[in-house]
Amino acid sequence: MKRVVIVGMGFGGVRAARELAGKGLEVLMLDRNNYHLFQPLLYQVATAALEQESIAYPIRAMARRWSETRFRLTDVCGVDTDGKRVMTSEGPIEYDYLIIAAGSETNFFGMTSIAEHAYDLKRLEHAEALRNQILGLFERAVKEHDPARRRAMLTFVIVGGGPTGVEFAGSLVELVRYVLSKDYPELSITESRVLLVEAADTILISQPAHLRKYALNRLRRMGVEVLLNTKVSDAAPEHVVFGDATVLPTHTLFWSAGVKAGPLAGTLDIPKAGGGRIKVKPDLTVDGHPDVYVIGDMAWCEQDGAALPMVAPVAMQMGAYAGKAILARQVEREPPPFRYRDKGSMATIGRSSAVASAFGLHLSGYFAWLAWLALHLMYLIGFRNRILVIMNWAWYYFFHERQVRLITMKESGPPRCRLS
């Protein structure tokens, strides 16, 4: 029985494994985590709307349902394409077919100070750390007597006007205005600021102009300060510096202004393109290695003269294609070239508000928000997870309350008591 090794169990890896399960091949799934993470909802964990476990699903629970699949928890550190081996922290693993779906990481564009001081949302622990930061600063602000320092603690800067930045900004400002304002009556809500910084002249660039305008106006009405044509050039623990040298006191910088291929791509002796992504052929294999497929955020696949975006729908379609292509080659049939079918995009702005562009339809407001809810629930893995997410969303919708306001990380060591 031939072995297919899948590196990374994100959206692409899961789709590939599902396609290959029970088809007469040994499918071995590798990941450094033992769970599949639904990354589009990480920002809701960071803003106390959802529990961590409600957007993660154990990979072994999937393997239990899929025949001829196994999972191994390990770190992948390289690939020997000539020897057809995956190099892991547990030793080499041989393969007949390899699917690399190792995802992406945040791109700080070489700005080391920003990389050191900014928060991002790529892993579950990132969301928990950001939630701790937000809630912890409100606790500190209650005890701070200096108005300038208190205002800096309650100033949150979000860089990047794409879907992640817009959704995080809307969720954060609602958390502050409708929940934390009641938790901390000692603080004035006017002291808190949420700034969304975008280098371009618009947000949500992939959306039609009228939906971009709607989203911009909606954010501003909610209280988000949207700064267009503005760049962040430097950062420190207690301030950020804009491109025009303006210094803004703040303790929280969230970066969603770009992504690049994950670290594994840099270890592979394969031609790269923008963002360190691996160039793939029309069938998603790499040049000279027809048994190696690269899918998802790590793949540079051009279609109609442009590279496909690094988004979940692309990864899912690539994963399904890679699985089908391997099955076709098992019966000596050449698969057709991969073709991405764009089904549209959407972003939620806040409670009862979103923008959506799909199948020639352009929606905004309540109905776009309902479509956003339905789509995310559909792609979320696990019945229990769907129930938990629905319950949390319903609770917030009817009561404007978020239950997951937990600070779960504290300074190590015994408590220190002040005597004066």
3-class DSSP string for 87-137: EECCEEEECCEEEECCCEEECCCCCHHHHHHCECCCCHHHHHHHHHHHHHH
Measured CA to CA, the distance from residue 293 to residue 272 in angstroms comes to 14
Cα–Cα distance list, 370 to 21, 46, 93, 124 (Å)? 33, 22, 45, 26
* CB-based contacts of 403, cutoff 8 Å, min separation 6: 48, 392, 395
Say how many residues make up the chain. 420
What residue type is assigned to position 117 of the chain? H
Cα–Cα distance list, 298 to 8, 175, 378, 417 (Å)? 11, 34, 25, 50
Strands 85-88 and 76-80 turn out to be: antiparallel
Q: How many CA atoms lie within 13 A of 120 on its CB side?
A: 17
CB 129 within 8 A of CB 309: no
**Count of other CB atoms within 10 angstroms of residue 52:** 18
Measured CA to CA, the distance from residue 365 to residue 221 in angstroms comes to 14
CB 68 within 8 A of CB 27: yes
Q: Of these residues, 19, 105, 128, 167, which one is catalytic? A: 167
Can you say how many angstroms the Cα of residue 229 is from the centroid of all Cα atoms in its chain?
24
Active site residue 174: no
CB 119 within 8 A of CB 253: yes
Measured CA to CA, the distance from residue 197 to residue 203 in angstroms comes to 9
Measured CA to CA, the distance from residue 272 to residue 289 in angstroms comes to 15
Burial of 263 (0-12, 13-18, 19+ CB in 10 A): middle
Q: What share of the chain is helix, strand, coil (3-state, %, to 5)?
A: 40, 25, 35
Which residues form the catalytic set?
Answer: 167
